[in-house]
Each structure stands twice: as C-alpha cells, then as structure tokens.
Amino acid sequence: MAETIIVVGHKNPDNDAICAAIGYAELKNILADRDAPGYVYKPARLGQLPPETGWVLGKLGIPVPELIDHVDPGQKVILVDHNEVLQAVDGIEDADLLEIIDHHRIGGLVTAGPIKFHNLPIGSSATVVAKEFEREGIEPSKETAAMLLSALMTDTVLLKSPTATKSDHYQAEWLAKFAGVDAMEWGSQVIKSRGSGADLPIDRLVAADAKEFQVGDDIVFIAQRETVDGKAVMEREAEMRDYMKKVIAENGYRSFLLMVTDIIEEGSTFICEGDCALIDKAFGISVDVPGGVWMPGVLSRKKQVAAPILALG
Ligand code: MG
Ligand code: MG
Ligand code: MG
C-alpha cells in the first residue's frame, strides 16, 4: 500500500497556506507517479477555510483538504507557508519532516537529517510552488493555476505589498496564462469574495489570521484583518478589544496587536491590548489610544510589522 505524506500549512490558515499545500501536494503526486511510486501526498489544513478560499475551491471544483489537529509520531510531513514550531501542526516535533516550502524568516525548527528546505524571500508560498512546477517542467492544470494565482494575489494584496517581487509578477503572469484569466481581474474577484468581514463572529473577525511570535521570553500575538472596508470593521472596536483581552488572559500573551488592513486605502490601523510598550518602541508610536493608530502603507505583517518587533527580542 502507498505511504501517505501530509502536506500542511500553518495554524489559522490563510488562502496561501491552504492553496500552496494543495498545489504542492499535486505537484509531488505528479512527480511520484514519474519518479517514486509508492507515495501519496495528501493536503491538509489546521483550521477553518477563509471565505475567499471557500469561494475559490468551490468555483474551481477543487476538494477541500481534510481538517487535522495533530500528526502522529513518525508521520511523514511537508510544511508549507511556515517553518516555526509555534505555527505548525501539533506533534511536529515527533513527526518525520521531509520538506519545507516557504517564504518566511527562519524560526528555529531543528531536524535530525537533511531535508529539502526551499524558502524564498518573495510574496507567497504559491509563487514558490509555481516556480517548482516550472522548474520540473510540469504545466499546472487550469484549475490549479487559478488556485495558486488566487493565493499569490491575496498574499501580496494584488501585488501591492512590499513583499511582492519581480518573481511574483512573473509567476502571476505565468499562472494566468494556464488559468486563462487576467491576473489582476481574477485577483480582484478573489479579494471581493471575502466581503468586508465586518459581520463575522468576533473570533473570526479578529483572529482568523493570527500568529504567535516569540520575543525574548514573551509571546506576542499578531493578527491581521484584511478588508475592503476598514471603517466598517472599526465600528466593532470595543467588541474587538474585549475579545483581545480575553485571548491574552487565556494564553498568557505579552501583547496582542491587531492590524486592520484596508486594501483600498492601502494601510493598517493598529489596535493593541496587553503590554504594548514593545509595539510603541518598534514603531515610535503611542498605540494605546481609542481608535488605534493609522499606519499608512503598512500592508505586510511579515515585513513591516513582525520583523521590527522581533528585532527588539
Ligand atoms: Mg500564510
Ligand atoms: Mg504566505
Ligand atoms: Mg498574509
């Protein structure tokens, strides 16, 4: 019987974490048929589908990956869109980690043996996966190309984020060709399918896309709510702050920073609860004010927010 290898993105998955996992599993299955029969690569996810992912997979007729909450000891695993233990599936320390496909900072995972670790400082993991298709000389199907392009476009905020590189522009056109779409038009449709998010349940509104970061001895929790209507989201500020305080109390975080990122206005409102001195120091602001602090041009948690905070650790 074929051995199953799980391909999985990070906790609180975003569109990139899920689509890159599906796309990479598909590539690996094609390569396995060619080079290494006996392995079956199965995409999985660690949380609820983001609304745009539900829309994309439904529209393209791509099956939703299985929801898992841990991996068993010895399970063969490939991580995509993350490489930090805090963000990875429970049980990862005792699993058999085969590969990492990512576009983040390196965060301290240690392996027993050598692995394929393909990490590039570019806009999305979907871009890295598209590059792997191209490098192997394999053309993605129309559906896979459209799915990967959706993730490239959400992760780079329609290529406007400072994380977007020449590679992302190139790979977006490359994918658009196979998908038979206009890259920008398709990307806008995907982003619109999210809605403003303002009517979501409070836990989803605040923390659907949230990550823990170790800063010295403390954990800082950074969430990002990307929206096409920042004002509508900010109307729920009091409720959001109450929820953030609850999350801090339950998890012992040092601080909880929420970025309400307005894709149309191209910037983020910072709201912080807990001990926000670290945030003030990293950005030279006083974040503890009603209404939060508007940060024009700040679109990327990774590059513009997490990096300066981690630098203080
Ligand atoms: Mg991600
Ligand atoms: Mg990503
Ligand atoms: Mg993101």
The rounded Å distance from CA 1 to ligand 2 centre is 33
Against a cut of 0.85, is the pTM above it? yes
Q: What is the pLDDT of residue 51?
A: 93
Protein residues with C-beta less than 5 angstroms from the ion ligand 1: 14, 16-17, 81
215 phi and psi angles, rounded to 5 deg: -125, 105
The rounded Å distance from CA 147 to ligand 3 centre is 16
Blockwise average pLDDT, block size 10, the chain, 313 residues: 94 97 98 89 97 97 98 98 95 96 91 94 98 98 98 96 96 98 97 90 95 93 94 97 98 97 94 96 96 97 94 87
- Per-residue HEC secondary structure of the chain comes to CCEEEEEECCCCCCHHHHHHHHHHHHHHHHHHHHHCCCEEEEEEECCCCCHHHHHHHHHHCCCCCEECCECCCCCEEEEECCCCHHHCCECHHHCEEEEEEECCCCCCCCCCCCCEEEECCCCCHHHHHHHHHHHCCCCCCHHHHHHHHHHHHHHCCCCCCCCCCHHHHHHHHHHHHHHCCCHHHHHHHHHHCCCCCCCCCHHHHHHCCEEEEEECCEEEEEEEEEECCHHHHHCCHHHHHHHHHHHHHHHCCCEEEEEEEECCCCEEEEEEEECCHHHHHHHCCCCCCCCCEEEECCCCHHHHHHHHHHCCC
| Record: fold of 3-192 | inorganic pyrophosphatase (n-terminal core) (3.90.1640)
Q: Which homologous superfamily is 202-310 in?
A: DHHA2 domain (3.10.310.20)
Give the start-to-end residue ranges of the domains of the chain.
3-192, 202-310
The rounded Å distance from CA 88 to ligand 3 centre is 16
Q: What is the pLDDT of residue 134?
A: 98
The rounded Å distance from CA 81 to ligand 2 centre is 5
Q: What is the pLDDT of residue 168?
A: 98
